[in-house]
Amino acid sequence: MKKVTKAVIPAAGLGTRFLPATKALPKEMLPILDKPTIQYIVEEAVQSGIEDILIVTGKGKRAIEDHFDSAFELEANLTANEKYELLDKVREIPNVEIHYTRQKEPQGLGHAVWCARKFIGNEPFAVLLGDDIVRGEKPCTKQLMEIYEQTGKSVIGVQQVSDKETSRYGIIAPSGRQGNLIGVDGLVEKPKPGTAPSNYAIMGRYILTPAIFDLLGKQERGTGREIQLTDSLQSLNRIEGMTACLFEGTRYDVGEIPGFILTNVEFALQREDLADDIIASLEFILSRAKSGVFQ
């Protein structure tokens, strides 16, 4: 059985939830503190043992390529001015082979993954979506890779959400659970309220076999008139079977403004150089809110 050494990071979306900020700036480059969101995703892949990464981009995403490229002039300037702490931050970018391909028009997540078929070839691979940052003792993708090594089948990362949230996610229909492993009887993309087969939501981490590409190439448009990855996963499950992993770790939703703001706050509170000032500022803001200043 081939090992998982490659990963795909789809980054071609328009980022409409963050307009007008994302009119000129890729959503993936919006910062969590002083680091772009996509860097956290790349770091997770590298920490999981991934050796080659393909980022699927689109029009207006050049800033992503520039960020992961060398910055000779900037580094020379920081060195000349003895700003070594900032130099270290610039050089924190993971040392991994990063490749790029472009999704020429937005046709959905499934189509973005299909764009990686030549890069992946006939190998199993990881997919990491940028709307979720996961922190834990063991990287989320690594947890899925270990399950793939045991089963030889595709693995999807899930966590439980409230019943009112199920319409926001792809949801699995479970067929039994053993520890953190859950059998998959079926998958539904963003079910209507009250119709979800469970509250196990797919959280943007996958290990997939290359058989997914043939299915994506034939996939009809689904929800939102887009080629949905979940629809092809349903077919892949019928053909090969798959496993869901109830992964361990704290998941941060950075795909919408409230989650993005709260993630910044929580990450700031986890840093010794920022926590005290942030706590004091939050207490002041909350006291003003309670007094009705913002009404």
Lowest average pLDDT, out of 31-40, 90-99, 192-201, goes to 90-99
Residue 4 has pLDDT above 70, yes or no: yes
DSSP state of 80: H
Residue 222 has pLDDT above 70, yes or no: no
Phi-psi region of 231 (alpha: psi -120 to 50; beta: other; left: phi over 0): alpha
Predicted local confidence at residue 263, as pLDDT: 97
- Beta-strand ranges (E) seen in the chain are 6-10, 31-32, 35-36, 52-57, 97-102, 125-128, 132-135, 154-160, 170-178, 181-189, 200-208, 242-246, 250-253
**Parallel, antiparallel, or unpaired: how do β-strands 125-128 and 200-208 relate?**
antiparallel
Residue 224 has pLDDT above 70, yes or no: no
Instruction: Give the mean pLDDT of the chain.
Output: 90
Region 57-85: what's the mean pLDDT? 86
Predicted local confidence at residue 220, as pLDDT: 74
Lookup: tokens for 86: 């900032």
DSSP state of 138: S
Q: Please answer whether residues 113 and 236 qualify as being in contact, where contact means their C-beta atoms are separated by less than 8 angstroms.
A: no
pLDDT tens for each residue of 113-136 = 999 999 999 999 999 998 899 999
Q: Model confidence at 39, in pLDDT bands (50, 70, 90)? A: very high
Region 254-272: what's the mean pLDDT? 95
**Residue closest to 12 by CA, chosen among 112, 158, 99:** 112
pLDDT tens for each residue of 123-178 = 999 999 988 999 999 999 999 999 999 999 999 999 999 988 898 888 999 988 88
Residue 60 has pLDDT above 70, yes or no: yes
pLDDT tens for each residue of 88-118 = 888 877 778 899 999 887 788 999 999 999 9
Region 61-87: what's the mean pLDDT? 86
C-alpha to C-alpha distance for 19 and 237, rounded to whole angstroms: 36
